[in-house]
Chains A and B, each alone.
Chain A
Amino acid sequence: MESIAQLLQLIPNYDAWPELLRASLPMLVSCLVIFAVLSVAVMFLVWLERKVSAHMQDRLGPMYVGGWHGWAQTIADSLKLFLKEDIIPESADKVLFVMAPYIAFLGAFAAFVVLPFGAASIVSDLNIGILYIVAVGSLAAVGILMAGWSSNSKYSLYGGMRSVAQIVSYEIPSAMAIMTVVILVGSLSMQQIVGAQKGGIQNWFLFRNPFTFLAFFLYFISSLAEVNRTPFDIPEAESELVAGYHTEYSGMRFAFFFLAEYANMLVVAGVATTLFLGGWTQILPGSTQLIPGPIMFFLKVMVLIFVQMWLRWSLPRLRVDQLMYFCWKVLLPASFVLILGVGWMAVYWK
């Protein structure tokens, strides 16, 4: 955000503008930049998902729209969704129905404020960065529950309920896995966590410490449940609940849910990259940053997203009670063990 503030200084007579405007303009511009980057990224991700799934299923995927391998397919689909008729069920709770997609999207969007794309490319390096992400990530659950309830449809209600149960339960193991890294770094700030992994692949928390190695997998699995991806996509289980909590949504509102899901994927992959894969730092040992930070970050995030897509298209989905069992009786005890291990190492193994 500092660089944006500096850019704004270039406007002639900027110092003469009102104080309030000058204080809030960098924030607004940052938000717009994030929104733009997010939209493009999500469009790319949707296309990538369709291509990856197609090739795994022995078919081709989008091929025509835009020429080369249908790269403009998502743009065409978004346009179509925006132009669709906005249907609100008659017996739906109108205020909640309208607000729900935006709140679900807000959870993902707000997390982007603290994701470190590069050494200087972060909107705001809060000193409680990772705690802020965990807090704001819960907003998605509120949005989904609002959608499920306000649609006034039994299927949506089931989807909403299941989703809240799932998200709230899996937040705990994921937060515990995050704690392991925080204990070792001693700070909640995202840039400091990345800074602790400077110097190459051997410094990544994934490889540096056996407990954080396991914590990475724990976090990755819990984050799949946070994002409602298969094998944890019970809330939107197409074959059981038609479309779960977004059954009654169409057009632009549905597009927002879609946007929210992929944005969540990005956030979760971004957090995993920052905490365990070294963020925007180099792979090769050494101190010079040959490839710029944002590109490094993007490449690592893409690897994790590819794994998420791979899992979605190979695995069946878990049933609700099996999901809950897995969280409370497998992941949670494992996460406690990991925290104990990391704490012990931090104190006695210095």
Chain B
Amino acid sequence: MEAEYTGDVMTLNMGPQHPSTHGVLRLELKTDGEVVAEAIPHIGYLHRCFEKHAENIEYPGVVPFTDRMDYCAAMNMELGYVLAVEKLMGIEVNNRVRCIRIIMAELNRIASHLIAAGTYGNDMGSFTPFLWCFRDRETILDIFEETCGARLLYNYNWIGGLMCDVLPGFEKRVIDFIDYFEPQVDNLNKLLSDNYIFIKRTANVGIMPPELAINYGVTGPNLRGSGIKFDVRKDEPYLGYEEYDFDVAIGRGEHGPIGSCWDRYMVRIREVKESCKIVRQAVAKMTPGDVQESIPKRIKPAAGEVYHRTECPRGELGYYIVSDGSLKPYRVKVKSPCFTVMGAFRKISRGAMIADIIAILGSVDVVLGEIDR
């Protein structure tokens, strides 16, 4: 709804330091009372020059830098980069590496969606789901810490393989966690997702029509929340995802129009359950092997370029890598899903109230590290 705002328009500045902007994001709100005429995002507070660094470091050395972009889903960030370089070089990894990569990526997806759900509840005023989500996430982080020594920034996926093999008992720990965790999702739904007040706050807010979503290049749960069934893992599978049996969760508009904040949030919760399914299958498919057997002595791709994308928890992460035949990449361009969806933020937040801006921002689940790189 495009209203004519002729009243007193006050400029309210949200951020960069603000409890609810997930990172250092500055939202310039032009408000008329409680209604927001324009919400203009300003980014760049966390710009750490990833793309410039990548031109000056050898290929394996770029992996820790990719971690630090979306620090909530670092395994997926690394995976995207590593798969792009492997595609450029034509490296095939063995089954064990593929299964472990899938397990780590899906566990990281669960952890990232737990952060999204918990902080979203926090923004809405419901403080308890935040702690429940973080409690469950702790077990995932413990599994990661056992395997590669770090809780949040791993440097685990290497070009051609993994940094190290998993410890004995890994499969059992993962399955124990999934067994414990799947009923917890129902608890979370009872507390937050199906809560009447939460639905009233989110179900008619921030509607993103499907055509707008595609035109603005929105991907991931944000796109699926508008009802479009599109997941890179199904449509352009990598790592053997075509052999796994899982559904793609989409928003169905049970409470209000399709494409609302509630739909996007609910897609993440349903995806968590699908990830649990995938992890179980991956653990069953694991075979013994050497995780470092396909790592070449020197990573020196032939001159050329490649664009590869993976499904990271926040959308479709794309790496455009240009190689000039040397040990260092010539250009690494990251197509960050959060950056793209922030481009559409102004459109979906027209005419919302200040409290709705928070609801919309929480539902698109941005991490500033990935936007600013």
Q: Does B42 contact A (CB under 8 A)?
A: no
Chain B nearest Cβ from A331, distance in angstroms: 15
Contact of B353 among A233, A237, A314, A319 (CB under 8 A): A319
Q: Does A203 contact B (CB under 8 A)?
A: no
Q: Does A90 contact B (CB under 8 A)?
A: no
Where chain B touches its partner, the secondary structure class is: helix
Give the distance in Å from the alpha carbon of A315 to the alpha carbon of B191 in the complex. Answer: 8
Centre residue among B19, B122, B132 by max chain A CB count within 10 A = B19
Give the distance in Å from the alpha carbon of A158 to the alpha carbon of B10 in the complex. Answer: 12
Q: Does A57 contact B (CB under 8 A)?
A: yes
| Contact A57 B122, beta carbon cutoff 8 Å | no
Q: Does B124 contact A (CB under 8 A)?
A: yes
Question: Can you show 28 pairs from A to B with CB atoms below 8 A apart?
Answer: A53-B128, A57-B130, A57-B131, A57-B132, A59-B131, A154-B10, A154-B12, A158-B12, A234-B355, A238-B19, A239-B124, A239-B358, A240-B354, A242-B19, A313-B128, A316-B121, A316-B124, A316-B125, A316-B192, A316-B198, A317-B124, A317-B125, A318-B197, A318-B201, A319-B200, A319-B355, A320-B353, A321-B34
* Interface residue ranges, B against A (CB under 8 Å): 10, 12-13, 18-20, 34, 121-128, 130-132, 135, 191-192, 195, 197-198, 200-201, 353-356, 358
Q: Does A56 contact B (CB under 8 A)?
A: yes
**In the complex, chain B residues whose CB is within 8 Å of the CB of A316:** 121, 124-126, 192, 195, 197-198, 201
**Residue on B nearest A313 in the bound complex, by CB:** B128
Chain A nearest Cβ from B372, distance in angstroms: 22
| Contact B201 A314, beta carbon cutoff 8 Å | no
Q: Does A58 contact B (CB under 8 A)?
A: yes
Instruction: Known A315-B125, A316-B125, A317-B125; judge A231-B135 contact (CB<8 A).
Output: no
Chain B nearest Cβ from A276, distance in angstroms: 25
**Residue on B nearest A53 in the bound complex, by CB:** B127
Given contacts A58-B132, A237-B355, 13 further A-B contacts (CB under 8 A): A56-B128, A57-B127, A57-B130, A154-B10, A234-B355, A239-B19, A242-B19, A313-B127, A316-B124, A316-B192, A316-B198, A319-B200, A320-B34
**In the complex, chain B residues whose CB is within 8 Å of the CB of A6:** none
**Residue on A nearest B362 in the bound complex, by CB:** A239
**Residue on A nearest B35 in the bound complex, by CB:** A321
| Contact A58 B135, beta carbon cutoff 8 Å | yes
Give the distance in Å from the alpha carbon of A173 to the alpha carbon of B123 in the complex. Answer: 29
Chain B nearest Cβ from A173, distance in angstroms: 18
Q: Does A308 contact B (CB under 8 A)?
A: no
Chain A nearest Cβ from B206, distance in angstroms: 13
**Residue on B nearest A314 in the bound complex, by CB:** B128
Contact of A320 among B122, B135, B355 (CB under 8 A): B355
| Contact B18 A319, beta carbon cutoff 8 Å | no
Give the distance in Å from the alpha carbon of A317 to the alpha carbon of B127 in the complex. Answer: 10
**In the complex, chain A residues whose CB is within 8 Å of the CB of B122:** 239
Give the distance in Å from the alpha carbon of A239 to the alpha carbon of B358 in the complex. Answer: 8
